Amino acid sequence: MNEKTALAVRHHTNGNPLDVLVVEPMPVPEPGPGEVVVALRCAVINPSDMGMIGGSYGRLRALPAIAGREGVGEVVEIGKGVTEVKVGTKVRFPEEPGVWREAGTFAAKDLFVIPDDVPVDQSAMAFVNGLTAYMLLETFAADLKPGDWVVQNAASSALGFAVTQLCRARGLRTLDVVRDLRWENPLKEAGADAVVAEEPDYSKNIKAITGGARVALGINTVGGESVIRMIKGMSDAGTVVTLGGAATEAVRFPTRFLIFNDLRLRGFWMDKWTRTHTPEEYKEAMTGVFQLMAAGVLKMPVEKVYPLAQVKEAVARNLEKGRSGKILLVGDWNV
C-alpha cells in the first residue's frame, strides 16, 4: 500500500514568513483504532501566526514546525472503534502540531466538533478572534450597563469587528478608532455607534461624541501613542485592556490618569485563558461563540481565499496595508 501524503506549510527556521515558509509533502498515516484522518477545509492567517513563524510570539513550536493555528477540517477517514465523529463531520483542525497542511491523522476523542449551522469560513475564524472577543467582554464587560461606551483602536481588524458586533448584542455602545475612515460605513453597519480617525486630538472630542456617557472599557491592540490617546478619553474608574502591540512601541500609561482618574490597566492573552481553564469551560465559551455566529450576530469580514499551495501569495497580501478582511487558506484533499 502506498503511503498517503499531503502538502504542509513548514518553516525550518524562524524569520520573515516570505523567506522561511516552504510547502512540502508530509505523510498522512492510516488511522489506527480510535483515530481519524482530517482534511483541511479552511484555515486563517492571523498576526500570531506571523509572530510564531518570526520567533517573536509568546509560545513557539519546536523546529521544523508546521505553521498556522486556526482552521476547520472535515473527517474523511475513520479507524476502528471511533464513535465520536463520522465521515463528513466538521471539526476544528487541531492546533498542534500546526494547521496549515492538507490533512493529518488525529485521535478522535481530542477533536472539537463544529455545529452544522455555522458557515465553514466563519467557523474557521471562531477560535482566535471570535473567542477572544467573546471572552474579552465576558471578562471585562460583565459589570457594564447598557449605554456604557467601549472604545477600541485598530477597530477595522477582525477582532475589532467582532468586538463591535458583540457589544451591540450586549447593549453597549462602541467608539471605533481606525487609521482609515473608509472603514466608517462597514463598522457602522456592524453596529459601531461612532467611528473616528486615529488622530492626536480625537480624545478631546470623546465627551461630545458620547454625550458625556461613561466610557467604561478601552481595548488596546496597538500600544504607543494610540493607547495614550485612548487613556485620555476614559471615564473615571474605567479599564484599559491591552492584548496586542501592533505599533511595536512600549505601552506607556500617563501617571496622572492612574492617580487622578483611578484607571485600571489590565492585560489579556487568549492562549493563557485556554491553558488555565477546563475543557468544559472552553466548550461552554465556544458554544456561545457558535450560537452568535449561527444567529448572524457575529460575522467577520473575509477579503480573499487562496489555495494552501499559494500560501506565500496569501501571506504577502496579509502583510500589506489596506486589506478589507481576513485572508483564508483552503484545501481540497481527500482520501
**Domain containing 95 — which CATH number?**
3.90.180.10
Could you list the residue range(s) of the whole structural domain that residue 92 is in? 5-125+300-330
Mean pLDDT across the chain: 93
Among all chains, which residue has been given the C-alpha cell 492585560?
267
Is 287 within the bounds of a domain? no
Q: Which residues are catalytic?
A: 57
**Do 79 and 157 share a domain, yes or no?**
no
In a domain, 170, yes or no: yes
Best CA proximity match to 332, nearest among 7, 107, 2, 1 = 7
CB 329 within 8 A of CB 66: no
**Are residues 169 and 57 part of one domain?**
no
Residue 187 shares a structural domain with residue 251: yes
- On whether both 118 and 156 belong to a single domain, the answer is no
Segment 123-179, tens digit of pLDDT: 999 999 999 999 999 999 999 999 999 999 989 999 999 999 999 999 999 999 999
One domain for residues 75 and 179 = no
Number of domains in the chain: 2
Among 271, 292, 308, the domain boundary falls at: 271
Q: Is residue 288 part of a domain?
A: no
Separation CA 263–CA 170 (nearest Å): 23
- Choosing from 256, 271, 286, the residue where a domain stops is 271
Predicted local distance difference test score (pLDDT) of residue 254: 75
Q: Are residues 323 and 253 in the same domain?
A: no
**Is 190 among the domain residues?**
yes
Spatial distance between the Cα atoms of 16 and 131, rounded to a whole number of angstroms? 27
Question: pTM for the full model?
Answer: 0.91
Between residues 157 and 2, the one the model is more confident about: 157
Q: Is 267 contained in some domain?
A: yes
**What are the angstrom distances between the C-alpha of 320 and each of 150, 303, 312, 327?**
28, 12, 12, 11
- Is residue 114 located within the same domain as residue 209? no
pLDDT (tens digit, 9 = 90+) per residue, 200-227? 888 888 889 999 999 999 999 988 888 8
Same domain, 118 and 138: no
Query: Residue type for 234, please?
Result: M
Amino acid at 208: A
Pick from 194, 227, 180: nearest CA to 324: 180
